[in-house]
Amino acid sequence: MKKIFIPLAIISFALIGCSQESESQTSEPTTEYGSSSKSGSTEATEWEPTIYEKVNNLDGVTMIAKEGTVSSTGLTVIFENNSNKHINYGESFLLEKKINGKWYEIPDILGGNYGFNDVGYGLEPFEVTELYFDWDWLYGNLDNGEYRIVIDINDFRDAGDFDKYHLTAEFIVD
């Protein structure tokens, strides 16, 4: 028993030590915030413009914000599949804010140190379903403004045979 435990302990300590990031290796985020603002603030500067120029382009598949569910910390979206396609999606998402007519990705408040549950939900042909997204842990409370949630979906045909699309649902926090 000791013969197994000691090598495992040494390997564990080595892995923990290798995974620790020193302060000199940590890069500062390029996004700056106003002095007392959260991630949704219009005072934010140097936000990255959206990389999602082509969205909502899978015929027959839509996502909208469910009326009456929008808050500064989350919302429920409605997925609707009015096609013969088998759609898969997960829990990962990001938020963008419209500033001066352009979409910008909202920086997270965790410095990029986060992840999502790796689940796959199915949306079968002619099915409608809902999913609640809570972002308080990732973005904090959003300020008033126009936003959209971006979610990746897959048009699934067979194992390894799928096309990736991006759905967005716009909403207003006031």
What is the tally of structural domains in the chain?
A: 1
Is residue 4 one of the residues assigned to a domain? no
- 26: amino acid identity, one letter: T
Lookup: tokens for 132: 């609640």
Average pLDDT, the chain: 82
pLDDT confidence of residue 45: 62
Q: Which residue has the higher pLDDT, 92 or 35?
A: 92
Whether the per-residue pLDDT at 118 is higher than 60: the answer is yes
Is residue 79 one of the residues assigned to a domain? yes
Is residue 52 one of the residues assigned to a domain? yes
Q: What is the CATH number of the domain that holds 91?
A: 2.60.40
pLDDT confidence of residue 46: 79
Q: Residue 168's domain spans which residues? A: 29-173
Q: Which residue has the higher pLDDT, 53 or 7?
A: 53
